[in-house]
Amino acid sequence: MINNKKSINIYIDYKVNSTKKYLGNSFPPLIYKYFKSKKNYNVYSLLDKKLPKIDICIIINGGSHWTYKDLKVNNFDFKQLLIWTFPKFKNYYFIFFYFFKKNINLIFKRFLFENKSYEKHLENLISKNPNAKIIHRLDGIYQVICKNYGYDYTVQSINKNADVTVYQSLYSKNAWESGVKTIFGITRMINPVKSVIIDNGVDKDIFKLNTKKIKLRGKWKILNISASPSPKKGLYKILELAHSLRNNPDFQFYLIGNQINDPLFGKYISEYNNITFLSTIYDRDKISSYYRSCDIFIFPSEDDCSPNVILEAISLGLPILTINSGGIKDLIIKDKLCAGLFLDDKNPVSSLLHIIKYYSKFRKDALKLSEYFSYTRMGRDYEKIIIDLIKK
């Protein structure tokens, strides 16, 4: 047990200004909320300008949340500036490289630069708090999802100083520790001092049953939420299903997020009368209302480690239509519980038909499965790690 007279200072290296808004990553506000409610902890985030001596530092991935606004004198890095500003000021950079006789091939390398500014920020933080224990929480590999390619090098660098590495799924652990073959070659691998798997959690104060619903068209309302417009999110599979069911008004599809900007398939959304595009919603209470108002959640995304939207959907009893990729299987199938089905590439409507036929069974299993994924359970798992680290 923790001594009630001693408070532990926990710092989450992410900007947490609300626990009710979508911030780009679902984990930081949840873990912030959990420790904020505990008497024995003081919790801080990247938004806090003045910090006490930190006992525990929770680092999220490789700092992909780090932006040009976070660039300061003590973490300045020219390569980092080049990453952010080259697309807008490329002509000025060409002039700069020419007159100052700088090596212009830096421009060609910029996509594989590490997140050096963020690394310097962490070095400064650790130098001020040399006794702080570091928890490094990881999800997917950047080069797998073709985003911030070089940040995998930063993850590898950060992890050398981590006391504990936390993965959100077995898929994530295997990918980081064994490597994955990608278009870039084999991904960067890490060898943690200690690692654990802690499932993501859902805030059931927000995603709860028997509260406000929105009146929507259709007997069977099928919801998809995706903040990313990447074709890897599987919009085309949703369009295939919508097209197959276009003559049956009982089936209506509702899309929240950025799907319309999918460069390959987004332009086709407007052609379907049975698809309603709702754009991006940041208010999690409102998002929760849409979950409650729909009947089935569809998420045919590739290579996701542990998508929180699936956990939010099952917490409200929505059966899942998805694909067997990344860590998704572990979210919808556990023990004898099955909260959804994988889409059949040759006959996707059959998967939907089976969910409808056995709807009550899938719904009950979804609700039972969601008990594994409460944010309080997630918080307790992190608390156990923290207690062990403080005792050392």
Encoded tokens for 211? 């509260």
What percent of the chain has a predicted confidence (pLDDT) above 70? Answer: 98
Tell if the pTM clears 0.85, that is, is over it: yes
Whole-angstrom distance, CA of residue 23 vs CA of residue 36 = 18
Helices and strands, number each (H, E), in the chain: 13, 16
Whole-angstrom distance, CA of residue 170 vs CA of residue 293 = 32
Whole-angstrom distance, CA of residue 19 vs CA of residue 30 = 7
Tell me phi and psi for residue 359, to 5 degrees: -60, -45
Question: In angstroms, how far apart are the furthest CA atoms of the chain?
Answer: 71
Q: For residue 23, which of 57, 60, 65, 70 has the smallest C-alpha distance?
A: 65
Return the amino acid letter for 310.
I
Flag residues of the chain having pLDDT under 70. 1-6, 23-24
Return the amino acid letter for 306.
S
Whole-angstrom distance, CA of residue 37 vs CA of residue 41 = 8
Are the CB atoms for 79 and 105 separated by under 8 Å? no
CA distances from 329 to 151, 235, 338 (A): 27, 19, 10
Are the CB atoms for 363 and 317 separated by under 8 Å? yes
In the chain, the domains with their CATH numbers are: 8-70+111-201+375-391 (3.40.50), 220-372 (3.40.50.2000)
Give me the residues paired with residue 181 across strands: 186
Residue showing tokens 């003081």: 42
Return all residues near 151 (Cβ < 8 A) that are at least 6 apart: 61, 62, 63, 64, 114, 115, 142
Letter string b/e over residues 359-385, b meaning 16 or more CB atoms within 10 A of that residue's CB = eeebbebbbbbbebbbbbebbebbbeb
Residue showing tokens 């929480």: 137
Give burial (CB, 10 Å; 0-12/13-18/19+) of 222. buried
Where are the alpha helices (H) located in 20-77, listed in sequence order? 27-36
Report CA dihedral (14, 17, 22, 28) to the nearest 10 degrees: 40
Tell me phi and psi for residue 14, to 5 degrees: -160, 145
CA distances from 298 to 44, 169, 233 (A): 36, 20, 11
| C-alpha angle 54-59-62 in degrees, rounded to nearest 5 | 145
Residue showing tokens 């709807």: 359
Return all residues near 384 (Cβ < 8 A) that are at least 6 apart: none
Whole-angstrom distance, CA of residue 49 vs CA of residue 67 = 16
Q: For residue 43, which of 201, 59, 52 has the smallest C-alpha distance?
A: 52
Q: For residue 255, which of 212, 200, 216 has the smallest C-alpha distance?
A: 216
Whole-angstrom distance, CA of residue 337 vs CA of residue 329 = 12
Q: What is the pLDDT of residue 2?
A: 44
CA distances from 146 to 258, 263, 281, 320 (A): 17, 15, 25, 26
Whole-angstrom distance, CA of residue 58 vs CA of residue 382 = 10
Q: Are strands 337-338 and 333-334 parallel, antiparallel or unpaired?
A: antiparallel
